[in-house]
Amino acid sequence: MTRNDSRPSRRTVLGGAGLAALATAAAGGTALAGPRRGAGRPTEFPLPDGFQPEGITIGKEPYAYLGSLANGAVYRADLRTGRGRVVYAGAEGTSAVGVKLDHDGLLYIAGRTDGTVRVLDTHTGTLVATHQAAPESGHFINDAVLLRDRAWFTDSYDSVLYGVPRGRYGPHEIRELPLGGDWQQEPDGVNANGVVATPDERALIVVNSPLGRLYRVSLRTGRATEIALRGAEDVVGGDGLVRLGSTLYVVQNRQNVVSVFTLDERGTTAKLRRRITDPRFDVPTTAAPYRNRLYLVNARFTTPPEPDTEYNVVAVPL
């Protein structure tokens, strides 16, 4: 769930940043004063200037939580209005990549190159746990999925997944699951990226961004089996994954497209159904569903990040 070339700047978001006054519309480059609305809810809304968003997650309530690559901050947006605020300020030298919200209000945050997984209580805005999933160098904790008693994270620089126990209590041992079988690890750059559970929830689906391949990963052995694609050669640039029932949405960041597949129950084949494009896409990285929409983060990796760089979230019909 992040760029496929150089790493983003660690420029710190200016403290207490509120909503940006203007959001840039990708179509035509015009400026919007506040959220754009449709059917009562905004179809796009701005984020704080300089925020450098990457991950997004939405729970049962109409709130989206987004993480910042710049300093690990977490922003909460009200999907009914498009307005929001920073609920966790982060810290210099940290990042928030993939984020996943649990039913108890705990937010699991991938820490990128520091090897950490942080757990935030969204009700109080305080960290309740920090797990050192991997060493601080040579690893990239990227995306997450909640399955059974663990939050599973990809490591984009290493062929391994990490299973972090869910909740604030109980055992805290982290399970390392090395990837084998068909898995191929490119020597440089981001590899394993987005991750979701298979429709039968017996395994995981992981996308390899540079190769453009989807893999079914056994939770018992770590064996990765390449998923047969029907109607598509690859999903190069695959970043965030979303699964709703047997439908898999693959966000292909620099391609500015979301490829929509139908999976079989075990997640061994994926048939392309359609592709979603939108002129407002500006290198979307991750997505989250809510009701009849898919909300996508415009990470704008082709735009140099500055304190006044504008970012936004756009919604498309599911």
- The answer to whether residue 14 is domain-embedded is no
Read off the pLDDT band of 86 (50, 70, 90).
very high
Residue whose tokens read 């978001």 = 13
**Above pLDDT 90, what percent of the chain?**
83
Look at 153 and 189; give whichever has higher pLDDT: 153
Look at 54 and 187; give whichever has higher pLDDT: 54
The total domain count for the chain is 1
Predicted confidence (pLDDT) at residue 4 exceeds the cutoff of 70: no
Straight-line distance from the first to the last Cα atom of the chain, in angstroms, rounded to the nearest whole number: 20
pLDDT at 40: 83
pLDDT at 12: 31
Read off the pLDDT band of 187 (50, 70, 90).
confident
Query: pTM for this one?
Result: 0.87
Tens digit of each residue's pLDDT (9 = 90 or more) over 104-132: 999 999 999 999 999 999 999 999 999 99
For residue 243, the domain's CATH number is 2.120.10.30
Instruction: For the chain, give the secondary structure using H, E and C.
Output: CCCCCCCCCCCCCCCCCCCCCCEECCCCCCEECCCEEECCEEEEEEECCCCCEEEEEECCCCEEEEEECCCCCEEEEECCCCCEEEEECCCCCCCCCCEEECCCCEEEEECECCCEEEEEECCCCEEEEEEECCCCCCCCEEEEEEECCEEEEEECCCCEEEEEECCCCCCCCCEEEECEECCCCCCCCCCEEEEEECCCCCEEEEEECCCCEEEEEECCCCEEEECEEECCCCCCCEEEEEEECCEEEEEECCCCEEEEEEECCCCCEEEEEEEECCCCCCCEEEEEEECCEEEEEECCCCCCCCCCCCEEEEEEEC
Predicted confidence (pLDDT) at residue 17 exceeds the cutoff of 90: no
Residue 279 in tokens: 């002129």
pLDDT at 37: 56
Our CA angle for 240, 225, 230, nearest 5°, is: 70
- The answer to whether residue 163 is domain-embedded is yes
Pairing of strands 141-147, 150-155: antiparallel
Tens digit of each residue's pLDDT (9 = 90 or more) over 131-182: 999 998 899 999 999 999 999 999 999 999 999 999 886 557 899 999 999 9
Q: How far is CA 238 from CA 36, 137, 156, 174, 284, in A?
A: 27, 24, 12, 26, 10
pLDDT at 13: 35
- The answer to whether residue 72 is domain-embedded is yes
Predicted confidence (pLDDT) at residue 269 exceeds the cutoff of 50: yes
- The answer to whether residue 137 is domain-embedded is yes
pLDDT at 170: 53
Mean pLDDT confidence for 275-291: 98
- The answer to whether residue 294 is domain-embedded is yes
Predicted confidence (pLDDT) at residue 265 exceeds the cutoff of 90: yes
- The answer to whether residue 178 is domain-embedded is yes
- Residue 279's CB is within 10 A of a number of other CB atoms, namely 11
Share the mean pLDDT of the chain.
89
CB–CB of 75/84 below 8 Å? yes
- Residue 105's CB is within 10 A of a number of other CB atoms, namely 13
- The answer to whether residue 6 is domain-embedded is no
- The answer to whether residue 17 is domain-embedded is no
pLDDT at 159: 97
pLDDT at 171: 54
Tens digit of each residue's pLDDT (9 = 90 or more) over 26-73: 333 323 335 665 558 999 999 999 999 999 999 999 999 999 999 999
pLDDT at 126: 96
Q: How far is CA 163 from CA 65, 68, 148, 160, 305, in A?
A: 22, 22, 10, 10, 32
Instruction: Determine the structural domain holding residue 40 and report its residue range.
Output: 23-317
Mean pLDDT confidence for 6-32: 32
pLDDT at 34: 54
pLDDT at 154: 98
